[in-house]
Structure 1
């Protein structure tokens, strides 16, 4: 008889002390549990160390090859085989994967879902948070390389964007003992970044079962629905925060059915990213009328992506090529004239100057004459975003 799939919980987060506390709590609560941690702190010297621990402490460690100078590749290529060996040994009741500081849980969750089917069952995804560090983490525009947390030479991410994605992906946030006094504004900011997350203190007896149980799949099979988590982050179907205002922290939602003038928006980007520590969503450029674009900004850094076509740009027979969550989101937001095209951006931060952001965004839209000129004229407006969206390889 084959062994049952090994339950696996991912625990990540840039707040290392909170993350380690969460891992210790899980190991203490589940006899026979083991933790795997890939230390990438010496990746710049082509060294990655895998450490295996139980509730009593480290049991052993080993070096992992570094393919193509890519630390995340080493983690990906070693993680599933290491977990499968634990599953086949039959003595491990729970595998806790403690992700290194700047590793984002989405990538690892998708690796486990793709390569661990049958032998591994991802039952929980947790991001550990020191609630006293929320505002500082989201405001930090420092590059990971500058603080020794880059996963490779080409890792240009910042602290803020990495931390924001770690928090917003995980269904469960484990709150560690705060490093200093926590204000209501800290809690409000965390709540507005991820309104649907469940919070559990790592010292609460409810934390281990919440982390191990995860969220059930629609078919009742248990475990984490990785596809659903991805859909919640994808610009085409993202479950974006709603309007909020509490303890001096605000979230504003801006929606319009007219495209941006590419050159005016490009010129406004530095001011827009400076006005809120976090903003995200999808947007529509006049010179790319059929392309859905993703907006992801944190700590003054902005990433824009060509996500794919608007559904309105496709023949209806081709809609099945896109994920069902994307089609569902478009159907809820359909307009008789432009279909699902439009602007849907959300800005969050303490002391947010919402009126100024609205005015600035509005000034970047096509004016009445530009809009009336139509698609052929829009395509001649210039290509200010080419450097961001079509980089030369």
Structure 2
């Protein structure tokens, strides 16, 4: 019989550890495994195993390659498997800057865990006093001492956003009611469909049925992401831009700085006229923007290949389908304090091709100067 596993993530170790303590107390016979990665760049990791009575095992382990992937593969999974015979619930408490998706997929798809363990929840724990500032922070993890590998160049805010958006449940910890309310208002924009609770009250459950990790990934993947809707909560705004017409690469590039500096978080999918067969992903947080090629639009594939795509991908394409442009769509979502909705929409609309440019067709579009090429063509070369 397989044993349930819960992943607990979060940048804030005190709040995260307190939630793990509560899980251990609520589930007699449960065991938590945590890897401290402060020295991971030198290949050293400290493993702590505990239950409600205290520490069961504390060891420093040496890894051939200091990274999260080898920590999970070489130590976390073996540890969980070794304790499944006596544990009612296994808790994987992740290091501060570890993103839960990679761990969830490793646990779900590893050949040794498929029939032995089943993932029932991905919980992200937040500190209400700091989360609203950190989501706007342009510091790298190294500046906070939260590296997950020697070459880790990620930003604090991008990790925080992914921990929030991937979670199946969120818990907010804090002493001040005002901080908690502001944090929950922010979460209502970033992850509006995710159950959210407060540490000192009954938190959302993460020990129910097994999670479909493939569907969990589809919630955040650019081609299938369940993006937030238009919303206004006190001073926090979410603005949705949804159009069909192609974007002019030069005009969009010139608008990027204004779009990302005036907003806190934005993401979505879009298409450029000169790359009309490619679905492009937009991901920006705290002023740092990433534009990536996320593969072909479904319409660019032979119909025979559609069945090879996931049900979530085909469903998303069906929902976006239009007679003229098939599943090509501009769908970007922006969140921030007191956003000027009309200004954002007007700026993005000004980046679209005019009717005359649209009628010129793709043969003309391919000749457009493309300032995104240095990013997108480099990705294609690297692949």
Q: TM-score range by the shorter chain?
A: over 0.9
How far off its partner does 1:196 sit? Answer: 0.6
Structure 2 residue matching 1:287: 3-state secondary structure: helix
Does structure 1 conserve the Cα–Cα contact (< 8 Å) formed by 2:35 and 2:95?
A: yes
Q: List alignment gaps of at least 5 residues for structure 1.
A: 214-221
Which blocks of at least 5 consecutive residues in structure 2 are unaligned?
A: none
Compared with structure 1, are the counterparts of its residues 205 and 364 closer, same or farther at alpha carbon in structure 2 (3 Å cutoff)? closer
**In 2, Cα distance between equivalents of 1:99 and 1:183:** 23
Contact 1:23 1:35 in 2 (8 A): yes
Can you list the C-alpha shifts for 1:196-235, whole angstroms capped at 9, x where unaligned?
A: 111122233455xx1222xxxxxxxx31111111111111
Secondary structure at the residue paired with 1:233?
coil
Counterpart in 1 of 2:173? 176
> Is the alpha carbon distance of 1:118 and 1:39 closer, same or farther for their aligned partners in structure 2, counting shifts above 3 Å?
same
C-alpha contact (below 8 Å) 1:132/1:180 kept by paired residues: no
TM-score using structure 1 length: 0.92
Query: How many residues are paired up?
Result: 378
1:100 equivalent in alignment to 2:87? no
Q: 3-state DSSP class of the match of 1:245?
A: strand
How far apart are the structure 2 equivalents of 1:67 and 1:10? 24
Distance in 1 of aligned mates of 2:177 and 2:152: 30
User: Which residue of 365, 383, 391 corresponds with 2:352?
Assistant: 365
Q: Does structure 1 residue 154 correspond to structure 2 residue 137? A: no
Residue 351 (structure 1) shift:
1.1
8 Å contact from structure 1 (residues 185, 247) kept in 2: no
Aligned residue number for residue 5 of structure 1: 2
Q: Any conservation in 2 of the 1:134–1:189 contact (CA below 8 Å)?
A: no
Structure 2 distance, partners of 1:61, 1:380, is 61
> Does residue 137 of structure 2 align to residue 140 of structure 1?
yes
Q: Which residue of 2 aligns with 1:217?
A: none
**Does the 8 Å CA contact 1:141/1:158 hold for their aligned counterparts?**
yes
CA contact (8 A) 1:6 1:94 kept: yes
CA distance in 1, matches of 2:199, 2:68: 29
For 1:249-271, what per-residue CA distance to the aligned partner results, in whole angstroms no more than 9, with x for missing partners? Answer: 11111011111111221222121
Pairs within 5 Å for 1:59-78: 59-78=56-75
Is the contact between residue 17 and residue 176 of structure 1 (CA under 8 Å) also seen in structure 2? no
Shift of 1:45: 2.3
**TM superposition shift of 1:281:** 0.5
The answer to whether the 8 A contact 1:65-1:74 is kept is: no
**Residue from 263, 268, 273 that aligns with 1:281:** 268
Is the counterpart of residue 110 in structure 1 residue 105 in structure 2? Answer: yes
Cα 1:140–1:180 shift into 2, 3 Å: farther
Q: Structure 1 residues 382 and 76 mapped into 2: Cα distance closer, same or farther (>3 Å)?
A: farther
Partner of 2:215: 228
Is the Cα–Cα contact under 8 Å of residues 126 and 170 in structure 2 kept in the other structure? yes
Task: Give the root-mean-square deviation of aligned CA atoms.
Answer: 1.7
Structure 1 CA distance for aligned equivalents of residues 302 and 224 of structure 2: 19
| CA distance in structure 2 between the aligned counterparts of 1:351 and 1:367, rounded to whole angstroms | 30
CA positional deviation for 1:373: 1.4
The 5-angstrom pairing of residues 283-362 of structure 1 reads: 283-362=270-349
